Structure 1
Amino acid sequence: MPWILGQVCLPYFLGEDSKIFSFSLMVFQLGLLIQVAWIINASLTVILDIYQESKMSKEIPINGFIQIIRLVVFFFTAILFIAILLDKPPLLLLSGLGALTAVILLVFKDALLGFVAGIQLIGNKMIAPGDRIEMQRYGADGIVKEVALTTVKVKNWDNTIATIPTASLVSDSFRNWRGMDYSGCRMINRSILINMRTVKFCDIEMLESLSDLNLIKDYVKNLISEFKFKEDDGKKVRPSNKRRVTNLGIFRRYIINYLAHYEKISNNPEYGSIVGETEPNEKGVGISILAYYDGIDPLGYNNAVANIFDHLFAIIPEFELDFYQLPSDTTNSSDKNLSYVNQD
């Protein structure tokens, strides 16, 4: 390199007793120092660029470690630069920094916290570029673009950039959607509130009308044959004294069969569909629906959810059930078939 060649050839052009010899030697030494620091920094950049092209970079980001190495290089470069300028041993300058330890810790507090947090994030595989995370405290809901030494940059769905301190990802809670990406399924978890006044036992006429629904045709026909009213000594048996089925129970069975036949709902046994009831309250009784959409694309997921619940909303009158809905101006409608819960 020219800086090394200059130092070697300098005594041949200038005598060591020359006034400008010391100054020229210092210039070549400083140039060599800056050149070495620049080469190390460029090498780190190349290593980072090559690493980011590999698959491992999606799981283990090293941006923080590269930044730490750069800080160490620049720190020692600055110490050596000052030592050459003052013509003092570098160890003497380092020993003098002991009294400034508190100041140094205060200045580099965020870097130190970020470095420790980065080790925890990488060691526990908590976050990586490409992950979708949610952190309401910092308004972050999107894709992780960069995991740096002190900050993590998240590109939100509205194309804004949210910056999160790296240490906060360890001390605070956040949601990472990586598991959804690995599973290939996305959960649907919603409830439908039913007016409890419309829940009742099914009579034979209702069962016969429901037997036309293809998804529960066999189930309802078995119920008809099993639970037909029988007269006992000329008297009808009280319905509450017999094993009966409710319109709500049949509606739950319809939902299960509908989800099983819906092409976008996963048939993987590990991600089975569950339809149950929530605890009744002042808003009625809720039918909880848990299923898994076979895919992770947001557009397909939202379309599937909309199609499923649109169908359930439209089919529920077939079961003589009604939804819970807060009273509104529609209560003045002349349609007497609508049922509402009295809030008085």
Structure 2
Amino acid sequence: MIVSLASLILWCVWFVTKTLNEIFSLRKQETHITWSQIVLLAAFGFWIVVLVCCINLKKDNPADTAIVGVFGAVLGWIFQDTIKSVAAFFYLRANGLLQIGDLITVPSRNIEGFVRTISLTTVTIENWDTSTSAFPTYILHAEHFKNSQRMIKGKTLGRLMQKTFIIDSGWIHPLTTNDVKRLHQHLDTDRIFKQQEVVSDKLNIEVFRLYIYHWLMNNPHVSQQPRLIVRWLEQTSEGLPLQLFVYLTDTMLDAFEWQQSQIMEHVVKALGWFDLQLYQSPSGYDASNSNIYLTQQTADYHKKNEENAKLK
């Protein structure tokens, strides 16, 4: 009788909380979802306790002890993800690591989007393509994730842009007098920079790096804090990599990508001014338009085959 009553109470609680979850999920009211799940878990725990008490197991009986142990192990195995998610939920909320509306990234699961709902067991994400993803809450506790909400709200110094351009080493050379004159016409910089940095006998890659740094320093969309770095990386078999480490003040995705694209386009455009080129692996087009000729005459394979036939 008692077991039936406890089961009936559990079913009623489950039905009510399920209905409330559907309503509050539409309204995105995180608090009501959480409390309804807590009530459901408490009711389920109460049902387990009542069930164990009604069985009237004896501590001195090894068989009863084994039954309790097996029953507990099975329940722990079945609800392990739920238990871990509940613990992760309270950890995240107690430390203020996650809020509804935050932009988060979980690199190991290829997850990136805005948090739409948070519950004891599940986190729902709205992806960039407006689709929805859901995953257990314990993932955000067991694995690394990045919360970009402070950066999106402008509470940081900017959004990081990190790009690398591989320069073909074969185009590196000192600037000539003609190169200096040509660069003075192309470069839209102040006169002091041109007089001090754009001089003959300097390597074109050196002046190019200084120009890009100077141009970024005067870009209104670039933050000079916490750091602005334009540096050469270690030489590779493809060429000499130039890395830009820049923080942009436009942190929203569309504005950030627009400014990032404009900076990349300006770098590619400036390469031509300094007589530099990006490295690109040779393609079929490069091979067919090569300027390398080993002989003045093309090979006549038909003639060679005829000579081999005569020898036979």
Q: Is the structural similarity TM-score above 0.5?
A: yes
Residue 255 of structure 1 aligns to a residue whose secondary structure is: helix
Q: 1:93 aligns with which of 18, 29, 54?
A: 54
Structure 1 distance, partners of 2:193, 2:222, is 22
% identical aligned pairs? 21
| Aligned residues of 2:100 and 2:116 also touching (Cα < 8 A) | yes
Structure 1 317/66 Cα, relative in aligned 2: closer, same or farther at 3 Å? same
| Structure ID, larger Rg | 1
- Partner AA of 1:318 in structure 2: W
User: Where does the alignment leave 5 or more consecutive residues of structure 2 unmatched?
Assistant: 58-63, 293-312
**Which residue among 109, 127, 131 is the counterpart of 2:102?**
131
Counterpart residue type for residue 211 of structure 1: H
Shift of 1:127: 2.6
Could you tell me how far apart the structure 1 residues matched to 2:17 and 2:129 are?
Answer: 35
Quote the Cα distance in structure 2 between the aligned partners of 1:126 and 1:152. Answer: 13
Residues 1:258 and 2:207 are matched in the alignment: no
What displacement does 1:66 show? 4.7
Query: What is the CA distance between 1:220 and its match in structure 2?
Result: 2.4
CA distance in 2, matches of 1:52, 1:153: 11
Cα 1:321–1:78 shift into 2, 3 Å: closer
Q: Mean Cα displacement is larger for which, 291-300 or 325-334? A: 325-334
- Could you tell me which of 201, 205, 209 is aligned with 2:182? 209
Instruction: Say which SS state the counterpart of residue 275 (structure 1) adopts.
Output: strand
Residue deviations 1:298-326, cap 9 Å, x none?
Answer: 11111111111112212211111111111
- Secondary structure of 2:248's match? strand
Alpha-carbon distance between aligned partners in 2 of 1:249 and 1:62, rounded to the nearest angstrom: 61
Say if 2:151 is the partner of 1:180: yes
Hey, what does 2:308 align to over in structure 1? none
Please state how far the C-alpha of 1:218 moved relative to its aligned partner. Answer: 2.1
1:107 to partner: Cα distance: 4.0
Cα drift, residue 189 of structure 1: 0.5
Give the count of matched residue pairs: 273
Where do 1:66-145 residues align within 5 Å? 66-73=36-43, 75-76=45-46, 92-93=53-54, 99=68, 100-145=71-116
1:194 pairs with 2:167 = yes
Partner amino acid, structure 2, of 1:292: Y
**Secondary structure of residue in 2 paired with 1:286:** strand
Structure 2 equivalent of residue 241 of structure 1: none
**Pair 1:293-2:248 in alignment:** yes
Q: What 5-or-longer segments of structure 1 have no aligned partner?
A: 1-25, 83-90, 229-243, 337-344
Q: Deviations over 1:268-307 (max 9, x none)?
A: x423421111111111001111111212221111111111
Distance 1:313 1:103 in 2: 62
For the aligned residue pairs, the C-alpha RMSD in angstroms reads 4.0
Q: Which amino acid aligns with 2:196?
A: N
Structure 1 CA distance for aligned equivalents of residues 253 and 259 of structure 2: 10
How far did residue 102 of structure 1 move?
Answer: 3.6
**For residues 95 and 277 of structure 1, do their structure 2 counterparts lie closer, same or farther at Cα, with a shift above 3 Å needed?**
farther
Contact 2:157 2:226 in 1 (8 A): no
TM-score, structure 2 as length reference:
0.71
Match of 1:201, SS state, is coil
Q: Distance in 2 between matches of 1:62 and 1:202?
A: 70
Please, what TM-score do these two structures have when normalized by structure 1? 0.65
**2-side partners of 1:135 and 1:77: how far apart?**
37
| Separation in structure 2 between the aligned mates of residue 188 and residue 262 of structure 1, nearest angstrom | 14
What does residue range 223-238 of structure 1 map to in structure 2 within 5 Å?
223=197
> What is aligned with 1:309?
264
**Correspondent of 1:221 among 192, 195, 211:** 195
